[in-house]
Chain A
Amino acid sequence: MTTRIDARFAELKQQGRSAFVTFVMAGDPDAKTSLDILKALPKAGADVIEIGMPFTDPMADGPSIQAAGLRALKGGMTLRKTLAMVRDFRKDDNATPIVLMGYYNPIYIYGVDSFLADAKEAGVDGLIIVDLPPEEDTELCIPAMKAGLNFIRLATPTTDDKRLPAVLANTSGFVYYVSITGITGAATADSNAVSEAVARIKRHTRLPVCVGFGIRTPDTARAIAENANGAVVGTAIVDVVRGSLDAEGRATPKTVPAVADLVSTLAQGVRGAKQAAE
């Protein structure tokens, strides 16, 4: 079965370039602005969109993304509303892949089966769930595959050759390589170490490999995109959202254009890269 994610990576391969993957937090700073940001992303150059599902206790995220999640929750964001937002986005865009990223508890409480059915119906293509390693595949990964959603797994610098096959076994769509040991927004990715790691992963899989954590500038994005099939930027975008808010934390007329500007600058970085080796 070909998913939107498969189709998008096939298309990019034909064009000879890597993907630019953007991360935004659902409902940050409010539901309407968040939908407007979402709609602006493809036009600004995003090839794949990751949407954060806000959670009170995001253990693998740094202060920026944590704060974005709390802003969204304060504005009344829920998992149900996140799915509604994807449904609205799909009215105008049936091609850009949407990946939901977050933690397991809100999904577990929603109910795995109803969540998967509703997510699929809303137009979600894949899931990245930070706290579900392969050891817990029966929880969500296997049911998601059966429901026709890609389950995208994180590989990290601590995932050695011995463990990689377990991590890749039920992964589909793409592999997300976390370029640092650490939380989002902390260190800067070292493109040499990353290119070695990507080459290592590619010895084990034919799936595209996208790299995230620690990419903030067009130059880093370009350097990463030369070696990987995609570069993911999250914290830098979330920081621009925060920087555009008024003193009470509300969206301003600057919010959506500021995000679009940053995304197009970063997209130019990615598009300037040579095609990643297959």
Chain B
Amino acid sequence: MNPNLPNSFRSGPDERGHFGIFGGRFVAETLMPLILDLEKAYADAKADPAFQAEMNVYLKDYVGRPSPLYFAERLTEHLGGAKIYLKREELNHTGSHKVNNVLGQIMVARRMGKKRIIAETGAGQHGVATATLCARFGLECVVYMGAVDVERQQPNVIRMEMLGATVVPVQSGARTLKDAMNDALRDWVTNVHNTFYCIGTVAGPHPYPMMVRDFQSIIGHETRKQMQEAEGRLPDSLVACIGGGSNAMGLFHPFLDDPSVEIFGVEAAGHGLTQLHAASLAGGRPGVLHGNRTYLLMDADGQIEEAHSISAGLDYPGIGPEHAWLHETGRVKYLSATDEEALAAFQLLSRLEGIIPALESAHAIAKLSELAPQRPKDHLMVVNLSGRGDKDVPQVGDILKGRKK
């Protein structure tokens, strides 16, 4: 734990985009002028009440917000401890929290007059959200996706194509999310004049980690209000899964300065932390990649290592810089769940509550069996259900069928 704790955990980043030593703008010169333009365009939009008003209309009538805060009675009974609420981001249009951020960025892109949108995607949820809003606003959309992920997330590839997007299977490296991000950056450097890069999580060069966090913070703001209405007070703890960390940042941020609220992020431990995994805080150290300084999985020579998770959306060797800082200050505790634990949680939530979660969200659910039973019955715990499992039905179906034989 860092002895020099800040007065507020919510004031970052500084004007250079730093959260402590993390964050920054580590990009090629070609992109710098555009990143400075974006920083300015976002600051203007944020200060413009008309921007927020327009967003609110789409958030309500197109995305379907506010998403419910649901008391999971049977899950609570089953675990026998804390009272568990689910923040239902899986009910959003397109099936995950990703749409909150994409809506915001597309509105900024429109203000900047950009007509071509590119994105990277792992599970495909960010790609689907981007393809959806590009369709809605008549923008060209190109989505980079690792060839391995194209295979394991077929339903989302089909959806993106139906929505009119071009999906580019990325053949370089491990052919997963990290490589999709490299190729999106290459496209951006090449087409910087007319192209807006819609990043899917709280990572990348400043201002992306801040901007994406701001757009996702609606999750936490709604949760505050809804918990007040349901229980007359703040929650006692929050739990969310972490790929890059955007659904988690969105839930956590409005609560960071409430010391009574315990906060837990759940990384993907894959086959286990001593084997192949995607837990960059538990198994990585600070380095520089994709425009920011943050915790990364790498070898002794600073070469980036491939991540592994059963969930394509968590399969990334880094994490957003604000999480790296929250980890070092000790404000948020980071845990991890293995592929097996996530699969078990996937089935548990489906059977007990009639809600099939995304494999990503199942990582957060998985840790409840450690966190909830230890806590008293009046402890209020909120878990972010970041997405629904439709996209994972074929993959999990195959795994379970293989086991029955």
A contact set with B: CB distance below 8 Å: 55-60, 62-63, 66, 73, 78-80, 103-110, 130-136, 153-160, 163, 167, 178, 181-183, 186
B293 nearest in chain A by CB position = A108
Given contacts A106-B302, A108-B288, contact A133 B186 (CB under 8 A): no
Which one of A62, A156, A183 lies within 8 Å of B29 (CB-CB)?
A: A156
**In contact, A158 and B30 (Cβ under 8 angstroms):** yes
Which residues in A have their C-beta under 8 angstroms from that of B185? 59-60
A106 nearest in chain B by CB position = B302
**In contact, A133 and B301 (Cβ under 8 angstroms):** no
**In contact, A57 and B190 (Cβ under 8 angstroms):** no
Which one of A57, A73, A157, A159 lies within 8 Å of B289 (CB-CB)?
A: A57
In whole angstroms, how far apart are the Cα atoms of A271 and B359 in the complex?
61
Which one of B24, B173, B191, B192 lies within 8 Å of A57 (CB-CB)?
A: B173
Which residues in B have their C-beta under 8 angstroms from that of A103? 288
Number of residues on chain B facing chain A (CB within 8 A): 35
In whole angstroms, how far apart are the Cα atoms of A106 and B301 in the complex?
6
Total residue contacts A-B, CB cutoff 8 A: 114
B contact set with A: CB distance below 8 Å: 16, 24-34, 172-173, 178, 182, 185-186, 189-193, 287-291, 296, 298, 300-304
**What are 20 A-B contacts defined by CB distance under 8 Å?**
A57-B173, A57-B182, A57-B304, A59-B186, A60-B185, A104-B288, A105-B288, A105-B296, A105-B298, A106-B301, A107-B302, A109-B301, A131-B27, A135-B16, A155-B29, A157-B30, A159-B29, A159-B32, A160-B33, A181-B193
A107 nearest in chain B by CB position = B302
- Chain B contact residues, majority secondary structure: mixed
Which one of B28, B178, B186 lies within 8 Å of A154 (CB-CB)?
A: B28
**In contact, B25 and A55 (Cβ under 8 angstroms):** no
Q: A57-B173, A158-B33 are in contact. List 6 more A-B contacts (CB 8 A).
A: A56-B303, A57-B304, A109-B287, A131-B291, A135-B16, A154-B28
In whole angstroms, how far apart are the Cα atoms of A254 and B356 in the complex?
59
**In contact, A133 and B27 (Cβ under 8 angstroms):** yes
Which residues in B have their C-beta under 8 angstroms from that of A110? 301-302
Which residues in B have their C-beta under 8 angstroms from that of A131? 26-28, 288, 291
Which residues in B have their C-beta under 8 angstroms from that of A107? 302
